[in-house]
Amino acid sequence: MKGPIMRALSGVAAITLAMGAAPLVAQGGPTDADLMNDAKSTGDVLTYGMGPQAHRFSSLNAINSGNVAKMVPAFSASLGGEKQRGQEAQPIVYDGTIYVTGSYSRLFAFDARTGEEKWQYDARLPDGIMPCCDVVNRGAAIYGDKIIFATLDARLVALNRNTGKVIWNKQIADYKEGYSATAAPLIVNGMVITGNSGGEFGVVGAVDARDVNTGELIWHRPVIEGHMGTLKGKDNGITGKLNATWQGDLWKSGGGATWLGGTYDPDTNLLFFGTGNPAPWNSHLRPGDNLYTASTLAIDPATGVIKWHYQTTPHDGWDFDGVNEFIPFDATINGKPMKLGAKADRNGYFFVLDRTNGKFIGAHKFVMQTTWANGFNKNGKPNYIVEGRPPAPGDAKGKPVFASPSFLGGKNWMPMAYSQDTGLFYIPSNDWGMDIWNEPIAYKKGAAYLGAGFTIKSIADDHIGALRAMDPKTGKIMWEYKNKAPLWGGVLTTGGNLVFTGTPEGFLKAFDAKTGQELWKFQTGSGVVGSPVTWEQDGEQYVAVMSGWGGAVPLWGGEVAKSFKDINQGGALWVFKLPK
Ligand code: CA
Ligand code: CA
């Protein structure tokens, strides 16, 4: 017997031997070591990002650029109900079960061979929740006997993965203050690590670590300077230095929501979390760099202490949340092998940093146009274009300026992929701009805190979306695929020389990883804004993705969204394979 099941069995034997009589996880199921090994174990998908480094790369090559044109559905499973909103989840696949989260904080377990539903959990949400950008959820985390996900009322729920029964349920933050949660949790060393959402309500971004078995808080790290962190119930130092980059009391409602979660690099033992926009949007109300908003942070998983930071948009004035995934990778730069990390930011630049210390290596434009800056200097500071910042409003609506990218970003939440075969990053990007103006605003708990208005605009006749292959060593775009509607789904790349992503028009598509040639597409019946995955089961390779149009674009896209108003809603898991 070969394949993933045998490998899993031998793994269990090895752990039992190493630990003596007591197995590492009493209830069975994925261990810390399994999660860290997820990128290499092709028989399962245990983590958001398909590995803690979130490369979204599988070495599987049974489905490849030579035969993907023959790929067909194995089955589809509906999420049912009347709650058909954006389905942005990435499936988790383990031991014959596919776990997916759905809109309105639901979690489903489907049989991975037949698509039959095993159980469904619906969070009971209060009336007053304040999700900014649709009622989405991006995925679950699995550990031992548990499957864990975050809910729109800013809670974290652990369910028994076999029955769907609640094991524990903890509050991350108070939804009445504007907090919510949509990201997939990250599990490292027996801790569930989460961020928070609510950057449009003047919340304070934070990263929390909880005991995976009990849900009890281990450490709490606010990401805005001046706020106190905790470790095991005790104070553990202020973040940054009070009033260094914020004036007066503005840091108390400073934003910086960590709403997309994080990645973990076993190599440097660092967590990487991105932080959202400073609050309010109107930058004239908060002079200074406003640390640590719109930044990438490296955090010590044992203590929650910030080890380094790099701010992608100092003193942001365009809602350029810096939350995007920071992906560790190794490459040789100028003849020197380096431990690097990359992030494609909402502000339109692709950043490469030394991940051991946060040192700036390069920033490469990956969109058609950036009006707010024309590049970065060697110290990693943007060369601002002064006229690109919307002016102070006085006591009425300020003068609008045209800005690009739009606040929905050169790239938004949808995760990119990194191929170890081609050495390229595959970025789901969008080319669009906006008219933006500032307005007066005062902070009020639980109310929108923008002080700005906007209208999104197209900047090209033939597309908004563009899937781009970026060479991180040179900053060159090696190929691009243009899509009429904005791209809003994640990317997967494989050892079969393939790149997969979905479109709002309803297709899951496959491209040649080296050339960008479109090789296959399938119409799923609603827009695809989820993240595809692949795994091996019973000797065959499978690909799965969620279908269900929604997310921020139809809610915030204005004139641009009207062009896509005829896309039908839905809610389904689609699973594909080659015919036998
Ligand atoms: Ca795996
Ligand atoms: Ca934001």
**Could you list which residues have their CB under 5 Å from ion ligand 1?**
38, 41, 44
C-alpha closest to that of 553 among 412, 429, 435, 417: 412
428 within some domain: yes
Q: What are phi and psi of 387, to 5 degrees?
A: -70, -10
Q: What is the DSSP code (8-state) at residue 192? A: E
For residue 200, the CA-to-ligand 2 centroid distance in Å is 6
For residue 98, the CA-to-ligand 1 centroid distance in Å is 13
Greatest Cα-to-Cα distance within the chain, rounded to the nearest angstrom: 74
The pLDDT of residue 81? 79
For residue 181, the CA-to-ligand 1 centroid distance in Å is 25
For residue 53, the CA-to-ligand 1 centroid distance in Å is 12
C-alpha angle 29-501-296 in degrees, rounded to nearest 5: 70
319 is catalytic: yes
Q: Identify the H or E element spanning 15.
A: helix 4-19
Q: How many domains does the chain have?
A: 1
Q: Which mean pLDDT values do the consecutive 10-residue runs of the chain (580 residues) have? A: 41 41 60 98 98 98 98 96 88 98 97 98 94 93 98 98 98 96 98 96 97 98 98 98 97 98 98 98 97 98 98 98 98 94 98 98 98 97 98 93 98 98 98 97 94 96 97 98 97 99 98 98 98 98 97 88 88 97
**Choosing from 134, 145, 153, 319, which is the catalytic residue?**
319
CA-CA-CA-CA dihedral for 478, 482, 485, 490, to nearest 10: -30
Q: CB neighbours (10 Å) of residue 425?
A: 26
The residues, any chain, with a CB within 8 Å of residue 457's CB and separated by 6 or more, are 402, 406, 432, 433, 434, 435, 559, 560
579 within some domain: no
Q: Which ligand is nearest to the CA of 346?
A: 2
CA end-to-end span of the chain: 20
Q: Which ligand is nearest to the CA of 35?
A: 1
568 within some domain: no
Q: Which two tokens stand for residue 244?
A: 């260094």
CA torsion sign for 46, 122, 500, 295 is: negative
Task: Please report, for residues 79, 120, 301, 350, the alpha-carbon distance to residue 239 in angstroms, rounded to integers and kept in the order given.
Answer: 42, 40, 16, 26
Q: Which two tokens stand for residue 236?
A: 């553990």
Q: Which two tokens stand for residue 15?
A: 């752990």
576 within some domain: no
Whether residue 101 contacts residue 138, with contact meaning beta carbons closer than 8 Å, is answered with: yes
569 within some domain: no
The pLDDT of residue 27? 58
Rounded distance between C-alpha atoms, residue 392 and residue 543, angstroms? 50
The pLDDT of residue 133? 86
In Å, how far from its chain's centre is CA 236? 28
Q: Which ligand is nearest to the CA of 533?
A: 1
Domain extent at residue 435? 2-562
For residue 180, the CA-to-ligand 2 centroid distance in Å is 13
Residue 49 sits in a domain whose CATH number is: 2.140.10.10
Q: Identify the H or E element spanning 36.
A: helix 32-36
For residue 474, the CA-to-ligand 1 centroid distance in Å is 30
Whether residue 240 contacts residue 256, with contact meaning beta carbons closer than 8 Å, is answered with: no
28 within some domain: yes
57-58 vs 491-494, strand pairing mode: parallel
The pLDDT of residue 82? 73
264 within some domain: yes
Spatial strand order of the sheet with 498-502 comes to 57-58, 491-494, 498-502, 507-512, 518-523
User: Coil, strand or helix: which one is 175?
Assistant: helix
For residue 95, the CA-to-ligand 2 centroid distance in Å is 37
Q: Which ligand is nearest to the CA of 454?
A: 2
C-alpha closest to that of 495 among 44, 34, 40: 40
